[in-house]
A and B are shown apart, each in its own frame.
Chain A
Amino acid sequence: MDYFAQQLINGLVLGSIYGLIAIGYTMVYGIVGMINFAHGDIFMIGGFIALISFLVLVSFGLTAVPVILLIVLLVAMAITALYGWTVERIAYRPLRHSFRLAPMLSAIGMSFVLSNFSQVAQGARVKPVPPIITGGYTLHKGAGGFVVQLSNVQIVVVITTVVLLALFTWLVARTRLGRDMRACEQDQTMAALLGVDVDRTISMTFVIGAALAAVAGMMYLLYYGLVDFYMGFVAGIKAFTAAVLGGIGSLPGAMLGGLAIGLIETLWSAYFSVEYKDVAAFSILIVVLIFMPTGLLGRPEVEKV
Chain B
Amino acid sequence: MSGGRVTAPTTDHKPARAHRAAFILKKALLSAFVALVLFSLMIGIRTEAGPTGQLIYWTRFSELASLVGAVFIGSIIVELMRQWLGPAPTANLIPPPVQNGLALAGRLIAPALLIFTLLVPVIFYQQRYILDLAILVLTYVMLGWGLNVVVGLAGLLDLGYVAFYAVGAYSYALLATTFGLSFWICLPLAGILASLWGVMLGFPVLRLRGDYLAIVTLAFGEIIRLVIVNWQSLTGGPNGISGIPRPTLFGIPLTPADDGLAARLGIEFDPTHRIVFLFYVILALALITNWVTIRLRRLPIGRAWEALREDEVACRALGINTTTTKLTAFATGALFGGFAGAFFATRQGFISPESFTFQESALVLAIVVLGGMGSQLGVALAALALIGGFELFRGLEQYRMLVFGIAMVLLMIWRPRGLIGHRAPTVYLKRAEAISSDLVKEGHG
Contact = CB atoms under 8 A, between A and B. Distances in A.
A associates with B = yes
A127 B47 contact: yes
A274 to B, nearest CB: 10
B399 interface: yes
Closest 4 CB pairs of A and B: A109-B408, A112-B405, A113-B405, A102-B416
Contacts of B409: 90-91, 106, 109-110, 113
Interface in B404-418: 404-409, 412-413, 416-417
A105 B412 contact: yes
A29 B43 CA distance: 31
Nearest to B317: A305
Nearest to B312: A303
B170 to A, nearest CB: 16
Interface stretch (B214-222, B275-283, B342-350): B214-222
Contacts of B266: none
5 contacts: A75-B41, A109-B407, A112-B404, A119-B401, A121-B46
A99 B416 contact: yes
B412 A102 contact: yes
Interface in A116-157: 116-130
A276 B41 contact: no
B45 A244 contact: no
B381 to A, nearest CB: 18
Given A109-B412, A119-B398, A286-B204, A104 B211 contact: yes
A1 interface: no
Contacts of B47: 51-52, 55, 122-123, 127
Contact of B38 (A83, A95, A112, A130): A83
Contacts of A279: 223, 226-227, 230
Q: Chain B interface: which size bin?
A: 35 or more
A110 B405 contact: yes
B358 interface: yes
Interface stretch (B49-57, B113-121, B244-252, B292-300): B49-57
Contact of B42 (A49, A115, A276, A278): A49
Interface residues of A, number: 73
Contacts of B314: 305
Nearest to B63: A121
Interface stretch (A159-167, A175-183, A233-241, A259-267): A233-241
Contact of B204 (A29, A91, A108, A290): A290
Contacts of B48: 123, 125, 127
Interface of A: 29, 34-35, 45, 48-49, 51-53, 55-56, 59, 75, 79, 82-83, 86, 89-91, 93-95, 98-106, 108-130, 233, 237, 240-241, 244, 275-276, 278-279, 282-283, 285-286, 289-290, 293, 303, 305
A114 B227 CA distance: 27
Given A112-B408, A237-B219, A93 B42 contact: no
Nearest to A82: B37
A286 B216 CA distance: 6
Given A35-B211, A112-B402, A79 B38 contact: yes
A204 B373 CA distance: 33
Given A82-B37, A129-B55, A289 B405 contact: no
B216 A285 contact: yes
A51 B42 CA distance: 10
A303 B313 contact: yes
Given A109-B409, A113-B406, A128-B49, A276 B226 contact: yes
Nearest to B219: A282
A237 B38 CA distance: 24
B365 interface: yes
A290 B358 CA distance: 23
Given A48-B42, A95-B412, A105-B412, A112 B222 contact: no
Interface string B21-60: 0000000000000100111111101111100011101000
Nearest to A275: B230
B219 A108 contact: no
B303 to A, nearest CB: 21
